[in-house]
Structure 1
Amino acid sequence: MTVNDDSFTNWKIREEIAESMIPLIGKLHRERDVTVLLHSRSLVNKSVVSILKTHRFARQIAGEELSVTETLPFLQALTALDLGPSQIDIGMLAATYKSDDRGLSVEAFTAEAVAGATGANKIEGGEGRDVVLYGFGRIGRLVARLLIEKSGSGNGLRLRAIVVRGGGDQDIVKRASLLRRDSIHGQFQGTITVDEANSTINANGNAIKVIYANDPSEVDYTAYGIKNAILIDNTGKWRDREGLSKHLRPGIDKVVLTAPGKGDVPNIVHGVNHDTVKPDEQILSCASCTTNAIVPPLKAMDDEYGVMRGHVETVHSFTNDQNLLDNYHKSERRGRSAPLNMVITETGAASAVAKALPDLKARITGSSIRVPVPDVSIAILNLQLARETDRQEVLDYLRDVSLTSPLRRQIDFITAPDAVSSDFIGSRHASIVDAGALKVEGDNAILYLWYDNEFGYSCQVIRVVQHVSGVEYPTFPAPAV
């Protein structure tokens, strides 16, 4: 048998193992509301090849490939436990088991590692929490996809309605079509049907009412059976407390804005300051995509090295608030053709850092350039540190942060030498550290941070909504503090 034959045989064996994992992952998700992760990447509803690719990707961050033969025993052990709603990282289970010298069986080690989700400790699933989307643009449709994907057992978040202005004939059909197909993010994973007579979109069994209104004051959500809901405003029309309070109508309990909040509206970056949200707070903001991209790594660097000052330069994909061709725009440069020019513009991300990281004393400045790509941006974070270090130390530290820290869902890490922006379309992390581009000299560090300013940001929005709704389930093994 040749080397090629051996390699192909090995691949077929791993395919078979990955195939056997799919029903186990699906059953845990549907029946117990357990999301199986591999190094913070969900394996729910993934294909055989996707599962194998996710295992292989671990090589880039952990230094060696992770095999399905290593993770399957932990997955099998989970199915035998009385688990409550949770997120369980089988990649972390396998890694921590390797370093454990007590001689425990996989079953005993797994039971101990996830004890917080079993028996008397487990969370009992509730009825779920209603969610309403106000607006259905780029972020609104991606948030809708995520809500539908995460509906799981039905005990979590439930997308009940979308509120839009009427758009004429076949409005609902056209909106459903935009949800079904996306030029950047691809096809919707599932089935979508439209009931025009009842103004409803049915997506993977989720009946979503489409409500037509020109102003929040026109809607009584209780008339649609919606109660105690979280409303996600992705229009950006209102950004202060007074304006967003218009949404606090019958049936709506909290309002979450997908843009930087103004005045005293809390700007929340999940993973950094989401624990500061007061239980009775009804209005909050998820800040901007760029703020979400820079604040987690900025916090990580400040925690380890101290940050004296910094500057962030964002090279940002163009957005719908720019013109396709030169035309009037209220901003001076955004009226110039977005797909034909690099456009210098402002960013509020640097000033927003103070809201998310009030303990950071360093002055952070920022500027931005819009460039002719439709999605994925990069933030260049130039930091003066409180102590000297070297490139390898910073690399090792940030790799570890991406794998084991409380920020592992926000910060990803890539070592691929040929990575470009399109490689990060669909990334669920707030930012991805490009190891090859990192520069360190003495007390100066320059981080290059990729981020999917549409999908990665939408994932952060969902995390905030899960947190304030009370359905943000614990992750095991617990990340290192």
Structure 2
Amino acid sequence: MTVNDDSFTNWKIREEIAESMIPLIGKLHRERDVTVLLHSRSLVNKSVVSILKSHRFARQIDGAELSVTETMPFLEALTALDLGPSQIDLGMLATTHKADDRGLSVAEFTAEAVAGATGANKIERREPRDVVLYGFGRIGRLVARLLIEKAGSGNGLRLRAIVVRGGGAQDIVKRASLLRRDSIHGQFQGTITVDEDTSTIVANGNAIKVIYADDPSSVDYTEYGIRDAILIDNTGKWRDREGLSKHLRPGIEKVVLTAPGKGDVPNIVHGVNHDTIKPDEQILSCASCTTNAIVPPLKAMDDEYGVLRGHVETVHSFTNDQNLLDNYHKSERRGRSAPLNMVITETGAASAVAKALPDLKAKISGSSIRVPVPDVSIAILNLQLARETTREEVHDYLREVSLTSPLKRQIDFITAPDAVSSDFIGSRHASIVDAGALKVDGDNAILYLWYDNEFGYSCQVVRVVQHVSGVEYPTYPATAV
């Protein structure tokens, strides 16, 4: 048998094992609210190839590809336990078991490592939390996709309604079509049907009421059976506490804004300051996509090196706020054709840093250029550090942050020398450090941070909503056993 034959046979064996993992992962998720991860990457609703690629990612952490033959026994051991709602990382289980010298079997080690999620220790399954989307544009539709994807057992977040202004004949059909097909992010993963008589979109079994309203004050959500809901405002029309308070109608308990908040509205970047949200806070902001892209790596750099000052230049994809062709616009430059020009504009990301990182003493300035690509942007973060360092040190530090730190869901790291913007469409991280572009000279460091300003940001929004809803479950194993 040739090497090629050996490789192909090995691939087919791993394919078969990955196929057998899918129903086990799905059953744990649906019946017990358990999300199976592999080095922080979810395996729920993933294809065979996606599962195998996730195992290959383990090379970045352990220096060798993790095989499904190694993780499958841990998954089988999990199915035999009385698990409660949690996130369980197969990669961490396999890694810590390999390093453990007590001679425990896979079943014994797994039971010990996830003991906090079993028996008397387990969290009780919570009632589903209603979510309402106010506005159904680019971010609204991507958040909807994520909420539907994560519906799982039905005991987490449940998208109950979207609120839009009436758009005329077949309005709901057209909105459902935009949810079903997206020119950038591809086809919706599942099925969508429309009931025009009841103004309902049914996506993967989730019945979503379409409510038509021109103003928040005209809606009583309890009329639709909605209770204690979190409303996500995707319009950006109201950004201060007074304006956003209009959403606090019957049926709505909290309001989350997908734009930078003004005044005393907290700007939250998940992974950095989400733990500061007060339990009784009813109104909060998820800041901007650019703020979410720069704040996690800025915090990481400040924690290790100290940051004295910095400047961020964002090269940002165009958005619906700009014109396709030259036309009147209230902003001086955004009226010029978005697909034909680079457009200098402003960004509020630098000023928003102070809200997300109040302990950061460095002055951060910022500016932005809109460019003719429809999605994925890059932030160039130029920092003066409190001590001198080397490119190798910063490279290795940021790589480790992306793999093992509490910011690993926010910061990704790529070494591919030929990476370009379209490679990051669909990234679930807030930002991705481009290792090849990193520059360090003494106390000066320049970081190039890619980010999917649509999907990556939407993932951050959903993480904040999960946190304030109490459905962000603990991860096991928490530490090496």
TM-score tier by shorter-chain length is over 0.9
Conserved? CA contact 1:128–1:157, under 8 Å: yes
- What residue number does 1:350 align with? 350
The within-5 A match list for 1:35-434 is 35-60=35-60, 62-434=62-434
Q: Give, in whole Å, the separation in 2 of the partners of 1:94 and 1:298.
A: 32
Q: Is the 8 A contact 1:345 1:367 kept in 2?
A: yes
- Residues 341-393 of structure 1: per-residue CA shift (max 9 Å, x gap): 11111111111000000011111111111111111111111111112222222
Contact 2:377 2:452 in 1 (8 A): yes
Q: CA deviation at 1:316?
A: 0.7
CA–CA distance in 1 between the matches of 2:246 and 2:267?
19
Q: Give the superposition deviation at 1:298.
A: 0.8
Rounded to whole Å, the distance in 2 between the matches of 1:128 and 1:295 is 31
Contact kept, 8 Å, 1:267 with 1:286, in 2: the verdict is: yes
RMSD, matched Cα: 1.4
- 1:435-458 Cα deviation digits (max 9, x unpaired): 111112222211111111000000
1:369 aligns to what SS in structure 2? Answer: strand
* CA offset digits 1:25-52 (Å, max 9, x no partner): 1011110111111122211111111111
Mean Cα deviation higher: 50-59 or 235-244: 50-59
CA displacement 1:206-240 (0-9 Å, x = unmatched)? 00000000000110000000010000000000000
Structure 1 residue 203, shift from structure 2 partner: 0.4
Deviation at 1:479, TM superposition (A): 6.7
Cα distance in structure 2, aligned partners of 1:461 and 1:69? 35
After the TM superposition, which of the residue ranges 64-73 and 128-137 deviates more from structure 2? 64-73
Q: Retained in 2: the 8 A contact 1:404–1:479?
A: no
- Determine the structure 2 residue equivalent to 1:33: 33
Further displaced range: 260-269 or 408-417: 408-417
- 1:336 CA displacement: 0.7
Equivalent-residue separation in structure 2 for 1:184 and 1:314 (angstroms): 20
Further displaced range: 381-390 or 333-342: 381-390
Distance 1:480 1:340 in 2: 53
- Per-residue CA distance 1:50-73 (angstroms, 9 max, x = gap): 111222233345533222122212
What displacement does 1:396 show? Answer: 1.8
Query: In 2, distance between residues paired with 1:413 and 1:71?
Result: 24
Inter-partner Cα distance in structure 2 for 1:437 and 1:258: 30
Alpha-carbon contact 1:60-1:416 (below 8 Å) kept: no
Cα gap change, 1:216 to 1:238, in 2 (>3 Å): same
Residue 480 of structure 1 deviates from its aligned partner by: 9.5
1:201 aligned counterpart, secondary structure: strand
Q: Provide the C-alpha distance between the structure 1 equivalents of 2:403 and 2:480, rounded to a whole number of angstroms.
A: 9
Contact 1:56 1:65 in 2 (8 A): yes
What secondary structure sits across from 1:427 in the alignment? coil
Q: Which structure 2 segments of 5+ residues have no match? A: none
SS of the aligned residue for 1:387 comes to: strand
Distance 1:166 1:479, change over 3 A: farther
> 1-side partners of 2:403 and 2:93: how far apart?
12
Aligned length: 481
Tell me: CA distance 1:235–1:389, structure 2 relative to 1, closer, same or farther (3 Å): same
Question: Secondary structure in 2 aligned to 1:338?
Answer: coil
64-73 vs 174-183, which moves further: 64-73
| Secondary structure, counterpart of 1:395 in structure 2 | helix
CA displacement, residues 245-302 of structure 1 (integer Å, 9 cap, x when unaligned): 0000000000000000000000000011001111110000000000001111111111
After the TM superposition, which of the residue ranges 72-81 and 359-368 deviates more from structure 2?
Answer: 72-81
- CA deviations over 1:131-161 (Å, ceiling 9, x no partner): 0000000000000001101111111111000
| Equivalent residue number for residue 16 of structure 1 | 16
CA–CA separation in structure 1 for the residues paired with 2:394 and 2:93: 25
**What is the CA distance between 1:110 and its match in structure 2?**
2.0
2:328 is paired with a residue of what secondary structure? coil
Q: Classify the secondary structure of the residue corresponding to 1:73.
A: helix
- Quote the offset at 1:112 in angstroms: 2.3
CA–CA distance in structure 2, aligned partners of residues 228 and 152 of structure 1: 20
- Large movers: runs of 4+ above 4 Å: none
Shift of 1:97: 2.6
> What secondary structure sits across from 2:223 in the alignment?
helix
Cα distance change of structure 1 residues 222 and 197 upon mapping to structure 2, 3 Å threshold: same
Residue 324 to residue 151, structure 1, CA distance change in 2 (3 Å): same
Q: Secondary structure at the match of 1:56?
A: helix
- Structure 2 SS opposite 1:368: strand
Contact 1:311-1:383 within 8 A present in 2 as well: yes
* Higher alpha-carbon deviation: 86-95 or 461-470: 86-95
What TM-score does the superposition give when structure 1 sets the normalisation length? 0.98
Q: Cα gap change, 1:62/1:329 in structure 2, threshold over 3 Å: closer, same or farther? A: farther
Change (3 A) 1:452 1:100: same
SS of match in other structure, 1:159: strand
Range with bigger deviation, 380-389 or 194-203: 380-389
Cα distance per residue 1:145-194 (max 9 Å; x no partner): 01101111111111000000000000000000000000000000000000
Retained in 1: the 8 A contact 2:220–2:251?
yes
Is the 1:61–1:415 Cα contact (8 Å) retained in structure 2?
Answer: no
Contact in 2 for aligned 1:325/1:336 (Cα 8 Å): yes
Q: Confirm or deny: 8 A CA contact 2:96 2:480 kept in the other structure.
A: no
1:406–1:480 contact (8 Å) kept in structure 2: no
Task: Determine if contact 1:61/1:414 at 8 Å carries over to the other structure.
Answer: no
Q: CA deviation at 1:459?
A: 0.5
Find the residue that maps to 2:385 and give its secondary structure: strand
Query: What SS is found at the alignment partner of 1:75?
Result: helix
Moved more, 366-375 or 72-81: 72-81
Q: Deviation per CA, 1:405-431, whole angstroms, max 9, x where unpaired?
A: 111111111111111111111111111
Identity percentage of aligned residues: 92
Deviates more, 1:407-416 or 1:452-461: 407-416
Task: Give the conservation status (yes or no) of the 8 Å contact 1:192–1:202.
Answer: yes
> What are the ranges of 5 or more consecutive residues in structure 1 without an aligned counterpart?
none
Instruction: Report the Cα distance in structure 2 between the residues aligned to 1:15 and 1:48, rounded to whole angstroms.
Output: 6
